[in-house]
Each structure stands twice: as structure tokens, then as C-alpha cells.
């Protein structure tokens, strides 16, 4: 018998890997071709298309008129809107129009949800998203991201107030993010582990790069905007003092949640955006920023917390509600929580 490997043996593994696209991976995960699995598979494929459109636009933005910089208007949060925020927000809408998949989209950039009437009642899902996360990085060519979350449409929402979305983070069917860095990566979970895809520009497809990511139990990184030190509440200040006094910690903060969270997901540590004395709820929005990332953290064996409560248990009071965010390795999140618990018991 010849010891020379056959073509199938030589090419098989890499060919097989190249064929694991987002849509196929969703079906593999759900292990069925039932209509809901087909819907979620198509939905992920469309999210992938949105990510590719945004990645392409970002890569050329410096060469185009009106792609970078501010629009001159402010969004519902009172934040200055950038051209790229508007573009990326519209990309998700355009990708899901006439898709039959999503009945409603809600984003950081829209005060109220955007309905796609022709998709209702066919589309039984709502897509929540942060089209560009880390917009302050846009004009200096640093990493930015997009965050997404899919929930089941519950009720008619006749008054457009999206009351049915005001539920805890466990209700997410699917969540993830796209990180536009040196390469474009997409990380997602259907509640069955966390999986990482890398955009292969030569194929124009997201290809599976790593399955079932596990966040380390502890990591050296703490990621927080220390410029806010004097505005934080005492427990956070005490935690940071602890970190400063102990060896083995290192600070990393890029100003883009997706990038900072991605580092922690892969290498361990903790990301914090705590409340301040003036704004106890912090800055980050629950439904389309922290709940999706909290879902991923939990699925990867990590934790997400407000400091005093599991973040996935928090019920938002309105569509754009915020909550303090502490997420990452289970030991590090528990350590931060211990400072909150200590201050409560004093
Ligand atoms: P967005 O660009 O979607 O408004 O989000 C910005 C967020 C987040 O990406 C980042 O972690 C945080 O704001 C940075 O805020 P500070 O500049 O206050 O640190
Ligand atoms: Mn954001
Ligand atoms: Mn944003």
C-alpha cells in the first residue's frame, strides 16, 4: 500500500475549513433544516453582508468625499453623529429590507425602531444593533466595530414604543459583533458557544477561524477609561487602587468597546465602564451594546455584571437605557463585584 497521501487527504482539511461559512455554521449548530434554522442561517448571512459592506467602506473612507467626519447633527443620545454612523446604520436597514427575515430594526442611531412592513408578519425577529461602535476612532484610522443582537418579535408594538423589547438579556436568540481591525472578524453565539470568523477578502466570505472560545479564568488586562477616576463611585476606585498595588496587571483601552472586549475574550481580564456619581447608569447602552457582549461573555465561560447584579438579568426601562458594565474573566469580574459588596456592607 502506498504511503503517499491522496488529494482528498492533502486538500481535505483546508478545503473543508474554507467551506464553513456563517450560514452553514448556523445550520451545523442547530442540527436541523427546520424553517427557523433556515431563517437564522439567512439572517447571519445578511449580517455578514452588512459587515462586508461596512468593512469595504471603512477601508476606502480616507479616499472618499463625505465618508469621515461629523454630519453636524446629534443622535437620540445627544452625541454628535458621524458620516460613518449614518452610512452603517443605513447598511443594516438596506440589507434587511425585502429580506422577509426581520420585521423591525432598532439601533443607537434611531430614536424609535424602524419597521419593515412588508416583512411583517413573515419576519418574526427584531435586530438591535450599534452600527459603528467606537466612532471616536474613525477619523484616526483605529479599530471600530458593530454590535448586533436578535430577539424574537413579541407583540404588535402598535404604539412604536418597543415595549416588548424591554426584557432581560437572556431573551437574546443570537448576539455578536464585528471588529474592523487589521482583518475583519465576526464573533457570534446562538447560545451554543462562541465562534470566531475571519473575513477572507479573496473569497468575500467569513470563514470559521475558531470554535467554542473559552475566556481564561483570569487575565492580566484591565480595560477602563481612568480619566474618569474622580467621577467614579468608591468601589471602582478601590478596585483600581488594588490593581495598581498588585503585580501582574496591565492596562489596555482603545476607546472602542468591541476591540477592548475582543482582547479580553481571547486573552482574559476585565472591561469596565462603571457608573459615575453624576451618571450612575454609566454610558453604555444595554440592548445593543452590553447585553449582546454579556451574552457572549457568559457563553464563553465568563461573566458580565453591573457590579451589583448579573448584567443579563437587567431589564431595560426604555429602548436606549444604559447600565454599568463589568465583563470578562469570571475571577476578575468577581473581584470587581467584591469591592461593590464590601462598600454595601460598610
Ligand atoms: P459609540 O461609538 O457607539 O457611541 O460607543 C462608544 C463607546 C464604546 O465603544 C467605548 O468603550 C466608550 O464609548 C468610550 O467612551 P469614553 O470615551 O467615555 O471612554
Ligand atoms: Mn457603541
Ligand atoms: Mn455607535
> Where residue 123 sits, what CATH number does that domain have?
3.30.540.10
Residues lining ion ligand 3 (Cβ < 5 A) are 108, 130, 132-133
Pair 142, 197 in one domain: yes
* CA separation for the pair 317, 105 (Å, rounded): 18
Q: What three-state secondary structure class fits 29?
A: helix
Count of alpha carbons within 13 angstroms of residue 155, beta-carbon side: 11
Q: Last residue of some domain: 165, 180, 210?
A: 210
Residue 58 CB coordination number (10 Å): 21
Cα 272 to ligand 2 centroid, rounded to whole Å? 14
The whole-model pTM stands at 0.95
What pLDDT score was predicted for residue 177?
A: 99
Pair 58, 194 in one domain: yes
What pLDDT score was predicted for residue 1?
A: 54
What pLDDT score was predicted for residue 260?
A: 98
Q: Where in the sequence is the domain holding 66, given as residue range(s)?
A: 9-210
What pLDDT score was predicted for residue 198?
A: 98
Q: Are 130 and 51 in contact (CB under 8 A)?
A: no
Could you tell me the three cell numbers for 166?
Answer: 424591554
Looking at the CA of 273, name the nearest ligand. Answer: 1
On whether residue 66 sits in a domain, the answer given is yes
Q: Cell 452625541 belongs to which residue?
A: 79
Whichever domain contains 244, its CATH number is 3.40.190.80
Pair 333, 280 in one domain: yes
Q: Cell 445627544 belongs to which residue?
A: 78
Q: What is the number of structural domains in the chain?
A: 2
Mean pLDDT split into 10-residue runs, the chain, 346 residues: 72 83 95 91 97 96 82 83 94 94 94 88 90 96 97 77 90 98 97 98 95 98 97 96 97 98 98 94 97 98 98 96 98 98 78
What pLDDT score was predicted for residue 80?
A: 84
- Residue nearest to ligand 1 atom 16, measured at CA: 255
Q: Strand locations in 10-113, DSSP E?
A: 70-74, 80-82, 102-107
Pair 72, 187 in one domain: yes
Cα 291 to ligand 3 centroid, rounded to whole Å? 15
What pLDDT score was predicted for residue 264?
A: 98
Pair 173, 248 in one domain: no
φ, ψ dihedrals at 134, nearest 5°: 90, 35
User: To the nearest 10°, the Cα dihedral for 19, 21, 26, 27?
Assistant: -30
Pair 152, 72 in one domain: yes
Pair 149, 172 in one domain: yes
Peptide bond before 121: cis, by omega within 30 degrees of 0?
yes
On whether residue 311 sits in a domain, the answer given is yes
On whether residue 132 sits in a domain, the answer given is yes
Pair 95, 163 in one domain: yes
- Residue nearest to ligand 1 atom 11, measured at CA: 257
**Who lines ligand 1 at CB under 6 A?**
79, 108, 130, 133-135, 225, 255-257, 283
Q: Last residue of some domain: 152, 178, 210?
A: 210
Amino acid at each position: 500500500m502506498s504511503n503517499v497521501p491522496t488529494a482528498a487527504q492533502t486538500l481535505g482539511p483546508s478545503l473543508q475549513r474554507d467551506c464553513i461559512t456563517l450560514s452553514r455554521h448556523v445550520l451545523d449548530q442547530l442540527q436541523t433544516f427546520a424553517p427557523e434554522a433556515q431563517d437564522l442561517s439567512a439572517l447571519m448571512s445578511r449580517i455578514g453582508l452588512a459587515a462586508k459592506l461596512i468593512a469595504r467602506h471603512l477601508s476606502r473612507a480616507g479616499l472618499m468625499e463625505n465618508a469621515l467626519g461629523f454630519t453636524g447633527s446629534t443622535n437620540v443620545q445627544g452625541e454628535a453623529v458621524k458620516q460613518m454612523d449614518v452610512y452603517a446604520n443605513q447598511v443594516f436597514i438596506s440589507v434587511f429590507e425585502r429580506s422577509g427575515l426581520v420585521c423591525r430594526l432598532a439601533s443607537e442611531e434611531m430614536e424609535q425602531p424602524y419597521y419593515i412592513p412588508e416583512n411583517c408578519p413573515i419576519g418574526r425577529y427584531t435586530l438591535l444593533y450599534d452600527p459603528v461602535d467606537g466612532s471616536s476612532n474613525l477619523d484616526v484610522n483605529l479599530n471600530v466595530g458593530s454590535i448586533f443582537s436578535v430577539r424574537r418579535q413579541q407583540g404588535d408594538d402598535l404604539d412604536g414604543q418597543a415595549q416588548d423589547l424591554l426584557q432581560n438579556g437572556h431573551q437574546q436568540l443570537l448576539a455578536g459583533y464585528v471588529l474592523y481591525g487589521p482583518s475583519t472578524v465576526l464573533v457570534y453565539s446562538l447560545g451554543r458557544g462562541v465562534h470566531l470568523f475571519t473575513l477572507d477578502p479573496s473569497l468575500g466570505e467569513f470563514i470559521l477561524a475558531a470554535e467554542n472560545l473559552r475566556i481564561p479564568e483570569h487575565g492580566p488586562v484591565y480595560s477602563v477609561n481612568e480619566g474618569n477616576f474622580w467621577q467614579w463611585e468608591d468601589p471602582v476606585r478601590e478596585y483600581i487602587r488594588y490593581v495598581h498595588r498588585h503585580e501582574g496587571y496591565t492596562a489596555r483601552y482603545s476607546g472602542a468597546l468591541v476591540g477592548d472586549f475582543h482582547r479580553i475574550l481571547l486573552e482574559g481580564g476585565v472591561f469596565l465602564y462603571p457608573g459615575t456619581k453624576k451618571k450612575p447608569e454609566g454610558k453604555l447602552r444595554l440592548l445593543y451594546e452590553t447585553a449582546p457582549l454579556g451574552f457572549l461573555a457568559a457563553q464563553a465561560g465568563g461573566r458580565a455584571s453591573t457590579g451589583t447584579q448579573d448584567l443579563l438579568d437587567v431589564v431595560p426601562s426604555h429602548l436606549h437605557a444604559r447600565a454599568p458594565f463589568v465583563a470578562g474573566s469570571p475571577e476578575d469580574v468577581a473581584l470587581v463585584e467584591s469591592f461593590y459588596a464590601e462598600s454595601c456592607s460598610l
